[in-house]
């Protein structure tokens, strides 16, 4: 299941939105409170726009984290299917398939018969068995 090997997009993206929105709000407020002159209409437009954009990013980041986790959960197969698949995998691992050579396979090199005794020597005799007395 390659889908399970990719981390969820929600936490990383949410962290980016919250961080970016917070920095945008902080630097807009720093500029607003450290200026030494009155703002004209277009400057108010930019101050309010940048501040509200930062607030929107923070809001989206706070919503996107749980939303991404919920979406990730909904992409997963049902728990019953996961349990059944786990049982199938365990059974397959316990009983590996037999490896059988194809019927038309020809050995690469001829195999010579193994000779265990020299041609003119008697065959080795089995050692005598000792039977304990009762």
Within 13 Å of residue 21, how many CA atoms lie on the same side as its CB?
A: 17
Do 76 and 43 form a contact (C-beta atoms < 8 A)?
no
Burial of 61 (0-12, 13-18, 19+ CB in 10 A): buried
Mean pLDDT in consecutive groups of 10 residues from the start of the chain, 134 residues: 56 87 94 90 93 94 80 70 78 78 67 61 63 68
Q: Which two tokens stand for residue 31?
A: 């500029």
Pure H helices in the chain: 9-34, 41-75, 79-94
Q: What is the pTM of this model?
A: 0.49
């Amino acid at each position: 299941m390659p889908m399970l090997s990719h981390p969820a997009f929600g936490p990383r993206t949410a962290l980016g939105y919250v961080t970016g929105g917070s920095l945008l709000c902080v630097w807009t407020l720093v500029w607003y409170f450290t200026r030494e002159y009155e703002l004209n209409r277009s400057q108010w437009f930019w101050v309010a726009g940048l501040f509200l954009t930062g607030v929107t990013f923070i809001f989206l980041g706070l919503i996107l984290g749980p939303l991404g986790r919920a979406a990730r959960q909904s992409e997963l197969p049902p728990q019953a299917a996961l349990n059944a698949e786990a049982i199938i995998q365990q059974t397959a691992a316990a009983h590996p398939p037999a490896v059988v050579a194809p019927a038309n396979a020809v050995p690469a090199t001829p195999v010579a018969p193994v000779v265990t005794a020299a041609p003119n020597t008697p065959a080795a005799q089995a050692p005598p068995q000792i039977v304990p007395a009762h």
